[in-house]
Structure 1
Amino acid sequence: MESILFEITDGVATLTLNRPDRLNSFTAAMHQEVREALAEVGREGSGVRCLLLTGAGRGFCAGQDLSDRAVSPDAEMPDLGASIETNYNPLVRTLRSLPMPVVCAVNGVAAGAGANLAFACDIVLAARSASFIQAFCKIGLIPDSGGTWTLPRLVGHARAMGLAMLDDKVTAEQAEAWGMIWKAVDDDKLADEAKALARHLATQPTKGLALIKQALNASSTNGLDEQLDLERDLQREAGRTRDYREGVSAFVAKRAPQFEGR
């Protein structure tokens, strides 16, 4: 793979966007490599129980590499909707639906689709020097990759509108204060803290964590009655897992549980 780094160790799959000279901006080739890696993550029997997503170099992801689809004045106008349908929408849907925790370590600027890619993950850590910026309005576009869905839910309508229309940069500490991310950490501690978090999650009852993810993702569109019914159904499923049985047994025996993610 030329555009990403990918490895699986001790139940943690680490996917690193690796075009540092272009701030890890996406090309069609990079999308293909990410799709292949995520297919391996989701493959039954892969042993992956947590995904860690990060970037190489001084940026996390600057969104789309515009040079990959440059438009000359006399050229036919591109179908950006086709690019979104083929690349970005499936990527966001996959991250949201993976049956495991997805941790994102934002090591630098996250702009455009790069910012919204981070917001599609389950737990986001960011270096204090990192920043989030929508950037779309600067070139006459709208936030994509789920941005118009996630932003209002993370920060409210007024802030989402301001961020989308004014192109304001949000620091990591401000993002934490606004509830856009889980935590801002010192730059030199980001990699270690993100790896430790991912390793911890990979030892937990990951089937149950996947059900938590499913329930919380559904809550933004469900009414109370629908959510209560969903909680009932998912709790029934969780109660039939080996990890639930192990958790109760360990609690009663006053020992550390050994979860298998099943």
Structure 2
Amino acid sequence: MGDKVIVEQHGAVLRIVLNQPEAMNAIGPEMASRFAGIAADAAADAAVRCVVVTGAGPHFMAGGDIRYFSELLALPAAERDAKLGALVSDVGRAVTSLRTMAKPVIGAVRGAAAGFGFSLMCACDVVIASDTVNCKLAYGQLGASPDGGGSYTLPRLLGVRRAMELALLDERIDAPRALELGLVSRVVADAELDAAALALAARLAAQPTAALGRTKQLFYGSFEKDLAGQIDAELQAFLAAAGSHDFSEAVTAFLGRRKPEFRGS
């Protein structure tokens, strides 16, 4: 069967590959549990300064494993709910780690991104899409509602009205439309996707990643604060940065007219 999630280390970049290409990387309990653990470990590992999430084969992720759902239909309600609850909780834990980790997360997305695959794409900080991307929420056609934080991230990306339209109509979105809507950051030829994602990740990993992490937290936290609260959060983040190695290195390098050497702390 092989490992459902592959981890590759590329210097300071951790590449997470969802690995069930024969099923379009549909997620079941084994993949979800491992993905959640890997994401949590990446968040805690200071040696990891950028994360790339992608799928093996021609697709990112087609959502939940329908065959697994079918197996659950015959179970008593309590047992079914416990198993589904564990799966949905694990994908939620994975997204929470990616969204809150103090380092950039890049989604490298090709082919189908549906269901949890769509939610996962929306949870990434930057998304590089292949020109083969074809995404949709897809929960409605399953008689279900979003998981993996999709109902949280999508309205924040697009606004409630547009997010509601996508969820209720459940229409397919190709790469140009995804770029127009702001669901993805940039689109590249499919053959260039993996190299482009790793190149961007290496570029980000060479930056003052602790500062990038604070910026990420400020942006996402801004939706929960008023202006005064956000300005105070900015103050605290700036003071934390001022005590860091990277701040000192940047100031010293600027005055010395040399390129700074950041270490992410």
For the superposition of Structure 1 and Structure 2, which TM-score range results when normalised by the shorter chain? Answer: over 0.9
> Separation in 2 of the partners of 1:220 and 1:81?
30
Tell me the residue number matched to 1:134: 137
Q: How many equivalent residue pairs? A: 261
User: Are 1:218 and 2:218 an aligned pair?
Assistant: no
Tell me the amino acid that sits aligned with residue 226 of structure 1: G
Asked if structure 2 preserves the Cα contact closer than 8 Å seen for 1:84 and 1:145, the reply is no
Change in Cα spacing, 1:59 to 1:96, as seen in structure 2 (3 Å) is same
Tell me the residue number matched to 1:59: 59
> Separation in 1 of the partners of 2:73 and 2:19?
31
User: Are 1:176 and 2:179 an aligned pair?
Assistant: yes
| CA-CA distance at 1:139 after TM superposition | 1.6
Tell me the residue number matched to 2:21: 20
| CA-CA distance at 1:225 after TM superposition | 1.1
| CA-CA distance at 1:8 after TM superposition | 1.4
Tell me the residue number matched to 2:104: 101
Aligned residues: CA RMSD: 1.7
2:152 partner SS: helix
1:220 partner SS: helix
Change in Cα spacing, 1:72 to 1:150, as seen in structure 2 (3 Å) is closer
Tell me the amino acid that sits aligned with residue 125 of structure 2: D
Worse-superposed segment, 185-194 or 31-40? 31-40
Asked if structure 1 preserves the Cα contact closer than 8 Å seen for 2:36 and 2:91, the reply is no
Tell me the residue number matched to 2:35: 34
Cα deviation digits, residues 209-253 of structure 1 (max 9, x gap): 010011011011211111111111111111111001111111111
Cα deviation digits, residues 11-49 of structure 1 (max 9, x gap): 00011111000111111111222133224323345x111
> Separation in 1 of the partners of 2:72 and 2:17?
32
| CA-CA distance at 1:92 after TM superposition | 1.2
> Separation in 1 of the partners of 2:72 and 2:101?
39
Tell me the residue number matched to 1:11: 12
| CA-CA distance at 1:186 after TM superposition | 1.4
Q: Normalising by structure 1, what TM-score?
A: 0.94
In structure 1, stretches of 5+ residues that fail to align are: none
In structure 2, stretches of 5+ residues that fail to align are: none
Superposed counterparts of 1:1-262, under 5 Å = 2-45=3-46, 47-71=47-71, 75-77=75-77, 78-79=80-81, 82-83=85-86, 86-262=89-265
What percentage of residue pairs aligned between the two structures are identical? 34
Worse-superposed segment, 108-117 or 85-94? 85-94
Change in Cα spacing, 1:138 to 1:122, as seen in structure 2 (3 Å) is same
| CA-CA distance at 1:129 after TM superposition | 1.0
> Separation in 1 of the partners of 2:187 and 2:88?
32
